[in-house]
Amino acid sequence: MQASDRFNINSQLEHLQAKYVGTGHADLNRFEWAVNIQRDSYASYVGHYPILAYFAIAENESIGRERYNFMQKMLLPCGLPPEREDD
């Protein structure tokens, strides 16, 4: 980044974006992105009641149980992070 770029609106935009959980950056790896996707998905399922009801019927579970499950899955949605090979 050039010195002149440092203060313009675009860098501020990036700074602003970085404040949100779930945004990415150039060094994000597959695992991290996937975790974000999973969590967003679960949050979306929990947030939309009709979808939750649909899943509940498909899995023959109560809606509350479904919601609980999704919330639990958000903890480690993709399992433990893989070992980093480079460091």
**CA dist., res. 87 & res. 81, Å (int):** 14
**CA dist., res. 77 & res. 35, Å (int):** 6
Residue selected from 3, 30, 84, 85 as contacting other proteins according to rule CB under 8 A: 30
Residue selected from 54, 61, 63, 74 as contacting other proteins according to rule CB under 8 A: 54
One DSSP character per residue, 13-48 reads: HHHHHHTSTT---TT--HHHHHHHHHHHHHHHHHH-
Residue 57 or 71: the one with the smaller Cβ distance to other proteins is 57
Q: Does 64 bind other proteins (CB under 8 A)?
A: no
| Number of CB atoms found within 10 A of residue 25's CB | 9
Contact residues toward other proteins (CB under 8 A) are 5, 8-10, 13-14, 17-18, 20, 22-26, 28, 30-31, 33-34, 37-38, 40-41, 44-45, 47, 54-55, 57-59, 77-80, 82
